[in-house]
Amino acid sequence: MIEPERTVYLDLDGTLFDIRSKYYTLYSRIVVELGAQSLSQVAYWALKRGAASPEVILSGLDAAGRDEYGRRWLAAIETPAFTGLDTLLPGARDALSDLRRRSSLVLATMRHDEAVLAADLARLGIQRFFSRIVTAAGRPPGDTAKGELIREHAPVSGVGAIVVGDSEADVQAARELGVRSVCVLTGIRDLAYLEALRPDFIIDSVAQLPALVGAI
């Protein structure tokens, strides 16, 4: 059997999944519960994608309110009530199918609840494309960088391995692993922010990834 030509480490939220509804619904619900006025969805995403600080995004809350917001966010963001709002980004399934013919695909996500994750992948019909799934299960939020998780659970192998994602965490992971980085514009960071990170490539969406992989 011929080994795959390369390994592609793929982020999930914002890269394969459209998370806009999930993030905004949870944000606005918590802010209103805490007695503040929520931003419009357009305003929220403009700030979020530009990596605005919590003090700016949550300007209607004091420090204690922002701390409580953070606790409620972490408690709810991976529950089925909110992950059920995720949808597959256009072209993602076809891209995975195409890539899988030539590469080994590893899903590398900072999610913690593996049971909910498995249900989400099955619901959207993409679990079969991955040779391995790396998560942050069992670790406190923010305790571990993505590069460390990948190195620990799915050692980088193969010629031309790449990390694909939508944020600074993915670019940093690629640098830690000594591989190329590809950023997509469908997630939590905008073009100006991603350009400042200097990834190796920036593409509009994962739908363009097979063509890019075929060219590098």
Count of C-beta atoms within a 10 Å radius of residue 31: 21
CA atoms of 77 and 34, how far apart (whole Å): 17
The Cα-based distances of 142 to 9, 11, 62, 67, 146 in angstroms read 20, 16, 22, 15, 10
Residues 69 and 101 in one domain: no
Number of domains in the chain: 2
Confidence (pLDDT) at 214: 87
Tokens representing 158 are: 């193969």
Residues 123 and 209 in one domain: yes
Kindly report, residue by residue over 150-168, the tens digit of the pLDDT.
Answer: 888 766 665 689 999 999 9
**pLDDT score of 36 more than 50:** yes
DSSP 130: -
Q: Give the bridge partners for 132, in sequence order.
A: 106
- Of 83, 116, 132, which residue is a domain's last? 83
- What CATH number is attached to the domain comprising 163? 3.40.50.1000
Residues 49 and 110 in one domain: no
Max CA-CA distance within the chain?
Answer: 61
Contacts of residue 201, defined as CB under 8 A and 6 or more positions apart, other chains included, come to 180, 181, 182, 183, 212, 216
Residues 116 and 209 in one domain: yes
For residue 140, count CB atoms less than 10 angstroms from its CB and return exposed for 0-12, middle for 13-18, buried for 19 or more: exposed
CA atoms of 72 and 117, how far apart (whole Å): 19
pLDDT above 90 as % of the chain:
83
**pLDDT score of 69 more than 70:** yes
- Of 83, 106, 138, which residue is a domain's last? 83
Residues 74 and 156 in one domain: no
The more confident residue out of 129 and 149 is 129
For the chain, the average pLDDT equals 93
For residues 12-34, give the mean pLDDT.
98
Confidence (pLDDT) at 3: 47
Residues 103 and 209 in one domain: yes
**pLDDT score of 4 more than 70:** no
Q: CB of 176 within 8 A of CB of 147?
A: yes
Kindly report, residue by residue over 187-203, the tens digit of the pLDDT.
Answer: 999 999 999 999 999 99
Question: Is residue 1, in this structure, part of any structural domain at all?
Answer: no
pLDDT-derived band at 169, boundaries 50, 70, 90: very high
Range of the domain at 63: 20-83
pLDDT-derived band at 1, boundaries 50, 70, 90: very low
Cα-flanking dihedrals φ and ψ of residue 36, to 5°?
-115, 170
Tokens representing 21 are: 């509804």
- Of 40, 58, 83, which residue is a domain's last? 83
Among the residues of 58-208, which ranges form H helices?
63-76, 80-83, 92-100, 114-123, 146-153, 168-177, 191-197
SS3 188: coil
For residues 15-32, give the mean pLDDT.
98
Residues 154 and 127 in one domain: yes
Residues 173 and 67 in one domain: no
